[in-house]
A = this chain, B = another copy of it.
Amino acid sequence: MKLSQGVEWSVHCAVTLAQTSPGVSVSRRTLAERYDLPEAYLAKHLKAMVSAGLLHATTGPRGGFRLARASEEITMLDVVEAIDGSGPQFVCQEIRQRGTAALPPEQCRERCGVALALDSAAEAWRSSLRTVTIADIVARLPAGARAQLQA
């Protein structure tokens, strides 16, 4: 249950892109240098965000990445799922229906209590991430951080 390292990078990059003027793109090289990250590997995560529809990529000089929609419309959950995968964290194997103590199917109409609890916890986690947007992160940034980006 460890979160991929790239999630942190990706969120920070999204925060940076949220502070650029509309229509302006930032190259992955600039993003990598901004946070001292390996450019080639960061590229993989940026690509994932493009595939997820969070970012828009432009090639050629003056090209790069920009947000595909308003920063208020991009949640932490969007970024996490883009990088870490959107599949369920837990898949019930229905082991209660196997082995010597196998339950008959008619007793398994309702969902297994174990799966229920794990799914409920995962949903709580997702709900929490849904409440925070990239715009929220920008708003809570120290005053100096925003000033530096203008340069």
- Contact B95 A37, beta carbon cutoff 8 Å: yes
Among B1, B120, B140, point to the contact of A80 (Cβ < 8 A). B1
- Contact A121 B89, beta carbon cutoff 8 Å: no
Asked if A149 is an interface residue, CB under 8 A from chain B, the answer is: yes
Interface of A is mostly: helix
Closest to A2 in B: B89
Asked if A56 is an interface residue, CB under 8 A from chain B, the answer is: no
Asked if A59 is an interface residue, CB under 8 A from chain B, the answer is: no
If A2-B89, A95-B9 touch, whether A145 touches B103 (CB-CB below 8 Å) is yes
- Contact A114 B1, beta carbon cutoff 8 Å: no
- Contact B142 A95, beta carbon cutoff 8 Å: no
Q: How far is the CA of A124 from the CA of B37 in the complex (A)?
A: 30
- Contact A3 B124, beta carbon cutoff 8 Å: no
Closest to A142 in B: B107
Interface CB pairs A-B, < 8 A, 21: A1-B84, A2-B89, A2-B90, A3-B89, A7-B90, A8-B92, A8-B114, A9-B95, A33-B99, A35-B95, A35-B99, A36-B95, A76-B118, A101-B149, A103-B142, A103-B145, A107-B142, A107-B144, A120-B128, A120-B132, A124-B124
